[in-house]
Amino acid sequence: MSLFLNLANLGEQLGATKKKLEHSALIGAYLKNIAPEEIAPASRLLIGRIFPESDARIVNISGAALNRVLENVVGAEIEWSGTAVDFGDAVAQWLTTRNWKPQGEPLQILDVYRTYEEIADATGSGSRARKDELLAGLFRRASVVEAKYITKQVSGEMRVGVSEGSLLDALVRNTEIPAATIRRANQLAGDVGAVAYAAIALGENGLQKLSLQLGRPLKPMLAQSAETVRDALQEIPPPVAFEYKLDGARVQIHKRGDDVKLFSRNLSDITASLPELAVQVRSEIRAQDAILEGEVIAIDAKGRARPFQILMRRVGRERDVETMQQEIPVQLFLFDCLYRDGETFLDKANAERWEILERIAGNVARVPRRVVENVADGENFLRAAREAGHEGVMAKNLQSPYTPGERGKQWLKLKPVHTLDLVIVASEWGYGRRHGWLSNQHLAARDENTGEFLEVGKTFKGLTDAEFKSLTPTLLELKTHQTRGTVFVEPRVVVQVAFNNIQRSPVYKSGVALRHARIVAFRPDKSADTIDTIQTLHAMMEREGG
């Protein structure tokens, strides 16, 4: 069995270089030299994922719990360094100052992984004490660098510059299996650990056995953005399918006879929270077995769409479901068919999949759709979608296959963009290629009554690497204090921020949060006292029905 220390040291090596080829070589050499049963868990842990995406288990360890356990194990109050870039780094720096030495048998990979499983399985009365006990057992046996990576994994802050994509690339480079074969296996399996095990231990034939399975969700196909209808039709030559882009939650539906399961876009099982949809699918879909995709929205008494944040009070909720069904009724709209009665349709054209969907959907609504031939027709359809209270439209290539987990230009989303002038009040140290830069910006609006700058969201999107790099020294000059990896700054840097919409937030003191915020420009011509106000954001949200 392999030592967990080797995995931790690999993390250190990966974090120290930005070279993709070096990443691939390091990952490949490591995975080829561990036991077959260690490959899947090690692969997941390497990218900061403990369980497969379709596995609902979570370790559910908070930062407070980590602090509590560490202080009990070490017997001293934690003192955080201001130079740490994340929680794991902070733990390592603190343990070093305490001259920490591990106790007991060295940790092995499967020791750690099985302990994570036990932590996830600990529920109900006494579960907090049990989780603390299990986590403390790991920390006692951990060296400083191992404690660093245990912290990274349970806190979800891996930050060594290795993503799922780079892990798959390493498998391609180190097995000589075609990239298309590995990518396809990952799309169908929904578990990079299973793909790594099959590629290394079983070879190409093993990968080909990872097929689509009812009850195991696929990663959803993703879309890129287009600014205008004209841009979309230049990217995808007409005829193009335009569909309403609903402000709802994407659902993947698996029907096996009378057994129906609903999965969210992040592959969580949400069936229990939306029982009426399972009943509808069971009674209406004209197929024994099927995998369908759709969007669920919250509706009012007149059947009109309600804001996304209202729907989120239902999705994933498993308590008081009957009451919530009355308070927040929902409607399902289907838009794709991926499988029916033994036949997989991923490689069939979008137009053909739509025809199959139309034949089997029964009385379940389909997303409003029109095949457009020109810009005027597309703009009319977009206008109709907006007037009906929806976000915008999706443009889809009629000849496109379904590519799970990939964000390509075969699907494009068109939504009107709102912008606000906001100020940066804090920033988090980046990781991967952004290591050493302040990259995740905390955005605030001004309260016109008190003059306070209140946070309304965070974003690391919109700026180029060069802009992030040049912004870092500016923010450091404005630094007031630092907590772990977050640097708080004087509210001086004004930015123009694009976003999709505004929702209520129980997290922020402002009471509102921006969805899909990204910085589009710096506004050196504006001072912080001229930025948009919290009152403006609340008014915009109310106009949108929030």
**Which residue from 223, 224, 244, 241 is spatially nearest to 233, judged by alpha carbons?**
241
Between the CA of residue 158 and those of 74, 87, 167, 324, 440, what are the distances in Å? 23, 10, 14, 37, 16
Give the amino acid at 485: G
pLDDT in the model for residue 545: 54
- pLDDT bin (cut points 50, 70, 90) of residue 32 is very high
Tokens in use for 95?
A: 């343990």
Instruction: Report the C-alpha gap between 149 and 4 in whole angstroms.
Output: 9
| pLDDT over threshold 90, residue 543 | no
- pLDDT bin (cut points 50, 70, 90) of residue 188 is confident
**Which residue from 6, 2, 11 is spatially nearest to 431, judged by alpha carbons?**
11
Question: Is 479 known to be catalytic?
Answer: no
pLDDT in the model for residue 417: 72
Collapse the DSSP code of 145 into the 3-class scheme (helix H, G, I; strand E, B; otherwise coil) and give the result.
helix
Chain segment 206-259, per-residue pLDDT in tens: 998 888 889 989 989 989 888 899 999 999 999 999 999 998 889 999 999 999
Average the pLDDT over 503-507 and give the result: 87
- The pair phi, psi for residue 90, each rounded to 5°, is -65, -40
Instruction: Report the C-alpha gap between 123 and 125 in whole angstroms.
Output: 7
| pLDDT over threshold 80, residue 430 | no
Chain segment 345-393, per-residue pLDDT in tens: 999 999 999 999 999 999 999 999 999 999 999 999 999 998 888 889 9
pLDDT in the model for residue 433: 63
User: How many residues are listed for the chain in this entry?
Assistant: 546
Give the amino acid at 190: G
Give the rounded percent of residues in the chain with a pLDDT score beyond 70: 97
Torsion angle, CA of 434/436/437/439, rounded to 10 degrees?
60
Strand partners, 487: 427, 482
pLDDT in the model for residue 161: 78
Asked if 185 and 198 count as a contact pair (C-beta separation under 8 A), the reply is: yes
Q: How many CB atoms lie within 10 A of CB 426?
A: 23
pLDDT in the model for residue 117: 97
Collapse the DSSP code of 378 into the 3-class scheme (helix H, G, I; strand E, B; otherwise coil) and give the result.
helix
Between the CA of residue 203 and those of 24, 172, 392, what are the distances in Å? 18, 11, 44
pLDDT in the model for residue 143: 97
The one catalytic residue in 131, 245, 255, 261 is 245
Tokens in use for 66?
A: 């980590």
Neighbour-count burial for 494-518, b at 16+ CB within 10 Å, e otherwise = bbbbbbbbbbebeeeebebbbeebb
Q: Which H or E element spans position 466?
A: helix 465-477
pLDDT in the model for residue 507: 86
Q: How many CB atoms lie within 10 A of CB 172?
A: 18
pTM comes to 0.75
Instruction: Report the C-alpha gap between 356 and 50 in whole angstroms.
Output: 37
| pLDDT over threshold 80, residue 459 | yes
Residue 99 backbone class (left: φ over 0; alpha: ψ -120 to 50; beta: rest): left
pLDDT in the model for residue 354: 98
Instruction: Report the C-alpha gap between 13 and 317 in whole angstroms.
Output: 41
pLDDT in the model for residue 390: 86
Average the pLDDT over 105-129 and give the result: 95
Instruction: Report the C-alpha gap between 512 and 514 in whole angstroms.
Output: 7
Most confidently predicted of 111-120, 177-186, 303-312: 111-120
At a CB cut-off of 8 Å and minimum separation 6, what does 469 contact?
A: 437
Asked if 519 and 526 count as a contact pair (C-beta separation under 8 A), the reply is: no
